Amino acid sequence: MSVLCNKKTKLIVQGITGSEGTFHTSQMLAYGTNVVGGVTPGKGGTMYGCKGEDTFTKQVPVFNSVADAVTKTGANATCIFVPASMAADAILEAINAGVELIVCITEGIPVKDMTVVWSALSRSNSRLIGPNCPGLLTPGECKIGIMPGFIAAPGNVGIVSRSGTLTYEACQQLTDVGLGQSTCIGIGGDPIIGTRFTDAIKLFNEDPDTHAIIMIGEIGGTAEEEAAEFVKQHVKKPVIGFIAGRTAPPGRRMGHAGAIISGGKGTAAAKVEAMKAAGIHVVDSPAHMGVTVAKALGVKTAPPKKDTVKPAPAKPTTAKAAPAKPVKKAPAKKK
């Protein structure tokens, strides 16, 4: 009951020995993700499992190249924590090695580099998630990236979002009304991304275990409008939408490189209008995403909880790892 990643996913981590790579690999392993190895050029042939306070649940082999890692481990997915100046190269290497699923967390990759990546990607069979994204989470099965595992619970709502923290917000609200998620997809906040709303919604639409979809957009570009058109034509499942940045002034980059209204394009108003015309339930307040999904699915909402300390996500019977332990470190992404 998921898209893109599940228990069977065999993941490698590019940049595994860096501080971000180490910390988040430890988190992914703790969540139960099947991390089969890592890539750091020059450190191939070693086993790796800790740095400072971060210790892996098991040591994993390090390889010099993605191709090497794929041949020796049978990996079908990679997660990239390489600094921005080298990240495009890392994505291209993964495409060249034929990795099916590439998740790039790195923020701040130059646009020029990404046009080249896009060109190579469109000629390949690889799928790219991101860059500048929190990654993927199929609750109870597999986490690729930096999403905090504890906020999610297995269920039937798919989430696709350009923003990390708003994804967490949506997860929390769903859990509060007693709904779980099939998969959470953070597509990223850059102008050029590998997987757009339409692609993600298409996946959710084809997944029998996804019963409703939340799409969280923001100002800039026209990807939300394109997705709305797709929803109008093809999607029968309820879609709940929110667009962040109604109050954003034109011409200013609101944090994300892609969140900018320019030449009168990319306004929240235009996106909301297109989404409403497609039958998407657009909420005015981001506080109402969860309850609106419940209403659309005809689910009675659970009474709001008094305490916010979340219960652990329901463990699938085969899961070997507990949800993430309290963490010791801030997730400051590489700038």
Q: Active-site positions?
A: 256
CB of residue 63 to another protein, shortest distance in Å: 27
Q: Minimum distance from CB of 101 to another protein (Å)?
A: 19
Is 163 an interacting residue with respect to another protein (CB under 8 A)?
A: yes
Out of 46, 59, 71, 165, the only residue in the binding site for another protein (CB under 8 A) is 165
* Using rule CB under 8 A, residue 44 touches another protein: no
Q: Which of 236, 309, 318, 320 binds another protein (CB under 8 A)?
A: 309
Size of the site for another protein (CB under 8 A): 74
Give the shortest CB-171-to-another protein separation in angstroms: 10
Which residue lies nearer to another protein by CB, 75 or 187? 187
Contact 197, 224 (CB under 8 A): yes
Of residues 69-98, those binding another protein (CB under 8 A): 84-85
CA distances (Å), origin 264, targets 12, 229, 268, 269, 319: 42, 20, 11, 11, 49
Q: Which is nearer to another protein, 71 or 165 (CB)?
A: 165
Phi-psi label, residue 309: left if phi above 0, alpha if psi -120 to 50, beta otherwise? beta
User: In the set 42, 45, 317, 330, which binds another protein (CB under 8 A)?
Assistant: 330
Q: Which of residues 274-293 bind another protein (CB under 8 A)?
A: 284-288
Nearer to another protein, 64 or 267 (CB): 267
Shortest spacing between CB 187 and another protein, in angstroms:
11
Output the six-digit token pair for 229: 């058109």
Residues 6+ positions from 128 with CB-CB distance below 8 Å: 91, 95, 102, 103, 104, 117, 121, 193, 194, 195
Region 13-32 residues binding another protein, contact defined as CB under 8 A: 27
Q: How far apart are CA 201 and CA 24, in angstroms?
A: 27
Go through the chain and tell me how many residues it has: 335
Residue 213 and residue 275 in contact, taking contact as beta carbons nearer than 8 Å = no
103 is an interface residue for another protein by CB under 8 A = no
Is the Cβ of residue 84 or residue 321 nearer to another protein in the bound state?
84
Query: 211, 256, 271, 281: which one contacts another protein (CB under 8 A)?
Result: 256
Residue 279 CB, shortest distance to another protein, in Å, is: 22
Closest CA to 306 of 176, 155, 118, 200: 176
150 contacts another protein (rule: CB under 8 A): yes
Task: Answer whether 325's CB lies under 8 Å from 30's CB.
Answer: yes
- Near another protein by CB under 8 A: residue from 42, 208, 249, 303: 249
Torsional sign, CA 130, 10, 6, 55 = negative
Give SS3 for 90: helix
Contacting another protein within 167-226 (CB under 8 A): 168-169, 172, 189, 191-192, 216, 218-223, 226
What burial class does residue 326 get, using C-beta atoms within 10 Å of its C-beta: 0-12 exposed, 13-18 middle, 19+ buried? exposed
In the three-class reduction of DSSP (H, G, I as helix; E, B as strand; rest coil), residue 219 is classed as coil
Which one of the spans 44-52, 53-61, 146-154, 197-205 is the region binding another protein (CB under 8 A)? 146-154
Contact 296, 249 (CB under 8 A): no
In the bound state with another protein, the residue whose beta carbon lies nearer, of 61 and 130, is: 130
Residue 56 near another protein by CB under 8 A: no
